Every structure is written in structure tokens, then in C-alpha cells.
Amino acid sequence: MSHPHLPIYNATLDTFDELVIQASHQRPVLVDLWADWCAPCVVIAPVLEKVIAEFAGKVALAKIEVDDGDNMKIAGRYRVRGFPTILLFEDGEERGRFSSARPVHFVRDFIVQHSRIVLQSSAS
């Protein structure tokens, strides 16, 4: 799925350091470790996209398909035991994580709690 106006992209073991670790020095990066066969992964994908859109470019989303190539090594590196697991990186370090599908308000609050980002409340 392409998101030309949102900072949402695919990452791999080979691009992880550049697209997640280095990129997290510019803005927080949410990492979605997911798999095709994982029903909760399918459920949370549009939730993550909605939250990234709300943050209007202040937070990026790197999607990593764990069954693609050597990507499972990333899950091993961070001791991930189930999918989906969402990691938040800021300044090159993991700041927080959660597993399973969660609602929009949970993901939004998670980012605010674990990063220096302040979400401007919209008139809704």
C-alpha cells in the first residue's frame, strides 16, 4: 500500500538502521512488526495509518514483514515474541512497545507518552 503524502514505508533488515535508527533522530519512528498470516496485524494496520495521519508528519511508520527475507532477525534482536508488536524509536533508541491490535486512542496516547511529540488537539 502506497502513502505518498504520509511518512509510511516498508523497511527490511538491510534498511533498518537507516530507515528506523537514523531516521528516529529526526522524528519518532513507529515500527510495525507484522505477518501476512496474523489477523491482529491486519486489524491494526489501518489504525496505525490513521494515527500517523493525525500526527501530520511528526511521526513515521516503518512496516516490517517478519516473514520476508531475513526480517525475523529484527524480531529476534528486540526479543519480540508475538505479532503484531509495535516499537517506538526516538533518538536511535527504543522508547516503548506494545503488542496486539489496539484502538486509535491507545496508539495515539502511546506515542505521546513515549516520545517528546505533543499532539495538537483538533476541533472535532
The residues carrying an active-site annotation are 38, 41
Dist CA 55 CA 100 (whole Å): 21
Cβ neighbours of 67 (radius 10 Å): 12
> What are the beta bridge partners of residue 98?
86
Q: Is 100 left (phi over 0), alpha (psi -120 to 50) or beta?
A: left
In this structure, are residues 115 and 59 in contact, taking their beta carbons and an 8 Å threshold? yes
